[in-house]
Amino acid sequence: MSVIEKINSVGRSTAFSFELLPPLKGNGIRNVYNTIDELIEFDPKYINITTHRSQLSYREMPNGLFERVAERHRPGTVAIAAAIQNKYKIPVVPHVICGGFTKEETEYVLIDLQFLGITDLLLLRGDKGKHETSFASTGHNHATELQEQVNRYNNGFFLDGSKMRVPMEVPFSYGMACYPEKHDEAPNMESDVYWAKKKVENGAEYLVTQMFFDNRKYYDFVRKCRENDIKVPIIPGIKPITLLNQLTILPKIFHSDIPEAFASELRKCKTDADAAEAGVEWCGFQAKDLKANGAPSIHFYSMMAVKSVKRVAKAVF
């Protein structure tokens, strides 16, 4: 059963899902399993696995000169997804991104996933590299271009135009991102809604939001989407704050406003433990409100926040 079928099957209920990072290169999978074991009691309908691009750095050579090298610090998204699906029998959703990957590399990711029977994807542009001043790619520049490649693959065609000898038994089903507070490169919210609609018209079966802390922004965005005939589920993505410095770091990275009521509570915190308590309380408020207002699913960005996500889920699901 695909992710969209899972979401639709819950009816008036609200589904639960969360996101995992592949372990850093050189580490094992045990921490990944530990995270799932912490959250599995809440019946996750699917688990997202992030994909991370290569980053350029400099390495000193024996002759004393430096060479520029590309390194991926978190490899193994496909392998992690396969291991999770095999062990837990829960649908996995590996991220497929534009940044840091050529079109040919993307094609081989799709081939590998097809062989493994993993047919749910989240298609994203991805972030710019740390070495870049603006986003640049050796492959696709926009998620909608990546979407076109996946659609052609679903229709049985490789990049070079050749046709598959054996068509896919189960085509890829995918969701894509949306931005209730406007993508930082978008000129206005109307433009964001326009591109959300394009993604849906071209095959996205659901949309997942960037993290937000103000539910009103989500409800306003959903209303605008519905007014523009976007009918697919729009899944809210939320995260409990766990550290004091996230009050300023998260808005900078994700361009998400923190409501003054929450910011005021965080400013009172003296320690990270205090901030984590405030984060659980606010995220719990968000989740309960979203569930009460019929959100089809709630997706938790659980990086560095598993214990907090568990407390929120225990209170809500």
Cα→Cα distances 303→37, 77, 196, 309, 314, Å: 15, 15, 26, 10, 18
Q: pLDDT tens-digit profile of 270-305?
A: 999 999 999 999 999 999 999 999 999 999 999 889
- Looking at per-residue confidence, does 60 or 301 come out higher? 301
Separate counts of helices (H) and strands (E) for the chain: 11, 11
At residue 71, the 3 state secondary structure works out as: strand
Long-range (24+ apart) CB contacts under 8 A made by 30-38 are 32/80, 32/83, 32/84, 33/87, 35/302, 35/306, 36/84, 36/88, 36/90, 38/306, 38/307, 38/310
- Counting Cα atoms < 13 Å in the Cβ hemisphere of 212 gives 24
Contacts of 314 (CB under 8 A, 6+ apart): 42
The mean pLDDT of 11-35, rounded to a whole number, is 90
pLDDT at 107: 96
Domains in the chain with CATH codes: 3-316 (3.20.20.220)
pLDDT at 168: 86
The mean pLDDT of 239-249, rounded to a whole number, is 94
Cα→Cα distances 156→72, 104, 111, 113, 169, Å: 30, 16, 11, 15, 10
Q: In the chain, what percentage of residues exceed pLDDT 90? A: 74
Q: pLDDT tens-digit profile of 182-234?
A: 887 888 989 999 999 999 999 999 999 999 999 999 999 999 999 999 999 99
pLDDT at 309: 98
Contact yes or no for 55/130 (Cβ under 8 A): yes
pLDDT at 244: 93
In the chain, the amino acid numbered 284 is G
């994909």: which residue's tokens? Answer: 51
pLDDT higher than threshold 80 for residue 48: yes
| Strand locations in 38-131 (E) | 46-49, 55-60, 66-71, 92-97, 120-124
Q: pLDDT tens-digit profile of 61-112?
A: 677 666 655 666 677 799 999 999 999 999 999 999 998 889 999 999 999 9
